[in-house]
Amino acid sequence: MAVKSIPWHPRMLFVAMSFPILPQLPACKAILRQNLLQRKSQFANMVLTKRFMQEVAMYNKHLDAFLMAADCGSFTKAAEKLFISPNALIKQINLLEAKLELALFSRTNHGIALTEAGKSIYRDARRIIQISEQAVATAHTLEAGKQHAIRLGSSLMCPARPIVNLWLAVSAAHPLIRLQIVPMDDSKNNRPELLGNKDNDVDIIAGIFPSTLWKNRCNALTLRQIPLAVTVPINHPLAGRKHITLTDLYGETILMVERGDTSYIDNLRDEIEENHPQIHIHDVPPYDFNVFNYAENTGRPMISVDLWDGIHPALVTLTCDWGKEYAVPYGILYAKDPTEHVMEFIHVMERVMGR
């Protein structure tokens, strides 16, 4: 069985040692071991003392006895609720204190009270129980095969990495959703048909999209606006610059997607044609790798976005001051009639974006 990710918390180290049911679940040891190796840097943020971390292996009896005594304010009352004798309960508390080398309770003729150390342990112990219960419930769910894969189409023009990075930041809180990367080609006109098509195995696509959304054949969740940029061959005179202006393009013939593909780029075309006739425009079809090759072969700049920087090893992308903002929407494309699981993923992304 493949090792799957479960919600992580640093204290799962001692949950793994102490919670009696975990060893009975076939995947749990591997799951916890993997998460420990991947997240070990988070141990610096632990609240519990080192001694308490070592002691949690006694959680089964001694921690329960400690919590009950703290809640009841009496060893006798706690023993009654645990159906053990007062002497047996006191022995467990004494063993816990001896192991920790901490006084957890102050004993007086009027009863017991938590010390400052005891209060700290009490707060963290409660969280341990909550985390352990969540870990077991999640492990059972994963073993039952209830995790759902969201198929993310990936290509040179629609790289999966930005969405994967965004998802990794929140995936631990959503263990039942898994991203599955599916290769696809860059035939732009086919993208709406790919979405939700079981034969093509694509649920969502991440990339820039036209204003018409392919005549409303799919839905889109906009994540951000990406400023238009200029991509040039590495031997172009402007290649050594990081930032240019429109006047730097005077005398150049630039490659631009043909009019009507999207209004966002048409607006820039209008600006150039009306106010910068020194720049010539050469129409190209919707972008794919062939267009990038054409730019490299002809030595011509092309209108692009930084998302595509690095697609072609012989091209570099420069930011440009257009005089005003020209940008294209970037986000997630999904079917007009998405599945329940796809919509769940979309809602998670909406919350990530604060919507």
Domains detected in the chain: 12-143 (1.10.10.10), 148-222+331-352 (3.40.190.10), 224-329 (3.40.190.10)
Asked if 304 and 226 touch (Cβ cutoff 8 Å), the reply is no
Looking at this protein, which amino acid is placed at residue 220? A
Q: Which residues pair with 257 in a beta bridge?
A: 284
- Which pLDDT value is given to residue 214? 61
- Which pLDDT value is given to residue 139? 67
Q: How, if at all, do strands 148-154 and 204-208 pair?
A: parallel
What is the chain's mean pLDDT, rounded?
79
Q: Which residue has the tokens 């048909």?
A: 193
- Which pLDDT value is given to residue 254? 98
Look at residue 9 and give its three-state secondary structure: coil
- Which pLDDT value is given to residue 143? 63
- Which pLDDT value is given to residue 312? 93
- Which pLDDT value is given to residue 51? 44
Instruction: Enumerate the H helices of 61-157 as residue ranges.
Output: 64-72, 75-82, 86-100, 116-143
- Which pLDDT value is given to residue 49? 42
Q: Angle, to 10 degrees, between the axis of helix 86-100 and the axis of helix 75-82?
A: 110
Measured CA to CA, the distance from residue 217 to residue 198 in angstroms comes to 17
- Which pLDDT value is given to residue 324? 84
What tens digit of pLDDT does each residue of 238-262 get? Answer: 999 989 999 999 999 999 998 987 8
Kindly give the parts of the chain with pLDDT less than 50. 1-59
